[in-house]
Chains A and B, each alone.
Chain A
């Protein structure tokens, strides 16, 4: 009997546990089904290509002739003495360093200014967001026309102020800044909209408390806005740094990497090696290095910008 009385609650407990377990399993399964499309997407279009690139980087490889001989780390060793690779890395770094801080400062200023619902704010917000939804290839073509040293709209505007015609895209010292300006214009909307949302999420009570404590506008911005906006800022800085590191289309369309390699960014160089010089193995090795650089940059930026508790 004793056995029966002790066994009964245990069986009930077991059934209950199984029910909870089944419920949890079902919930887990459901959750898994929800994220399955994303997993498939990432696996097929991200992780498998990354693995394939890593593999290809150890071979002689061209699109038409397929994988050739195994060459080990030769492509990586070649990179060390490849002046164009180092130059492209330098150009890419400059592009990121020009673009990201300028874009963030500009978009933050605009977001702060446009947080308040003043007259015309909606129109200005739309104007800022329009380039974001414009195709980058179309934007590149239009800006190349605007920059043209003879027929460009920008030349006419300079002319109004008595400034003589300037060469932008055909001048080695101005081509990269010119491409940077275009890309800031293009991407400004992205950082602006995220920062605007971040600003609107900060409760007004913090500002009221700061006001009571005697803080002026600048102090409130420095001591309230920036710390509370830091997670959003981190997201914007990291994503923009990574996206900027991958810049390709404007360079391909506006300057073809020139003049004198002044705009030959890393991804353009990878494209050239893979699709123009039929050296997909070396292009893969360059891509792997680019990926590692981006992971390192993201990690460092996240550490640097991590909100302090």
Chain B
């Protein structure tokens, strides 16, 4: 009887397994610009466009202003409203995936540049190549066009660009007798570390600094954007360490775990644990803006945050270059947010118009005025007076002089997940050897990304 039951269970499982088979592949999202008419728009009926984005106060304020400007830009959009749904940064990727897979109402979404390749590979974003001429693509810096493209086809326009340099609290550096160079070249890692140690202050004498020397990276998340810089900086330009990943975008052994990259991870450990610690082992939210850290590696959106939090100007700050290894290379990761049009949209023409407006001259200007981050538009970089003088000029210079895109692979999310775990394990794994952690992470990355083998041969939209 029991045997019969087991047989029945196995048979049921096999039946379930055989049920269905391969799901129908979604229609190619590379749509003909002319096919999607919006009758509601034409008839003047109210149209609501759903826009999924990440949770960030400054960015949401900017997006709302851009939406209002879009509606006011043309009488035909007077009946359009754009609804923003914001989710925390870490949940954005699975939320977009789930929304597309479930066919949820979503017309547009904002996504981090490196993830766009995954969306394009998975046909989760509409190609906007038919909507832009090659000349129009030149309105943005080449890094942005590359980050918004997949195998040579353009998918998503950028909202902005970025390059992380090192901010410092000038009151604290003055107190420590430090004069950080106000140039992109900045300090080497050793010089910077000395400065971080001098500004790590324990006034209360309880063994825990009241002010830390360094917060490397925005927020409290140990993502690749900032925390992945050190390992690549450890190698000279063109070396496997500097490249960060093999040409195929899925090989990490020999790139992540080179001796110099491992040495940089050992430094990363020492920043957080031990006699030369300069950064809290457990991240503290807003540590730089609360004046609990002297140095802060971040893109220039930190200027917008300082202006918002200290409107009276009582926060003296300066900017210096991002520290680098003397035997390696100085670099900052580029890339930022792009606007993608969902294949689920029932308002294709309107959604494309919104994406173009947001990334166009007017939208980018509003974004910049609110968020104060490096524009992706060449004309703005060349004409905005702030980018002609210190400190913002350094970010524009950094972008062109030392800026490189993050590793280019459709498996960036998987890579970043494993990288963030590695960074957490290195910074908190007291007593555990660093080298095996890094080597193991390289193997895990290759296993997780093996499914993308041959992605460079995939025809976009096929």
Contact = CB atoms under 8 A, between A and B. Distances in A.
A171 B414 contact: no
A278 B16 CA distance: 22
A276 B414 CA distance: 6
Contacts of A258: 421, 424-425, 428
Nearest to B416: A276
A34 B122 CA distance: 45
Interface in B98-133: 98, 100-101, 118-119, 122-124
A223 to B, nearest CB: 38
B21 A275 contact: no
A109 interface: no
Q: Is the interface of A mostly helix, strand, loop or mixed?
A: loop
B413 A276 contact: yes
Contacts of A151: 284
A292 to B, nearest CB: 11
A167 B281 contact: yes
A68 B22 contact: yes
A21 interface: no
Given A165-B208, A277-B448, A256 B94 contact: no
A259 B424 contact: yes
Please list the 10 inter-chain residue pairs (A to B) with the smallest Cβ-Cβ separation, ordered nearest first. A66-B23, A58-B17, A64-B122, A275-B94, A259-B428, A63-B101, A170-B428, A55-B16, A276-B417, A258-B424
A55 B23 CA distance: 13
A69 to B, nearest CB: 8
A259 B21 contact: no
Nearest to B102: A63
B425 A276 contact: no
B353 interface: no
A64 B428 contact: no
B25 interface: yes
| Count class of interface residues, chain A | 35 or more
Nearest to A258: B424
A303 interface: no
A64 B119 CA distance: 8
A156 to B, nearest CB: 11
A55 B18 CA distance: 8
A54 B101 CA distance: 19
Interface string A253-278: 00011111000000000001001111
Contacts of A276: 93-94, 413-414, 417
Contacts of B21: 67, 70
B213 interface: no
B17 A66 contact: no
B218 to A, nearest CB: 17
B248 interface: no
Contacts of B432: 172, 260
B13 interface: yes
A148 interface: yes
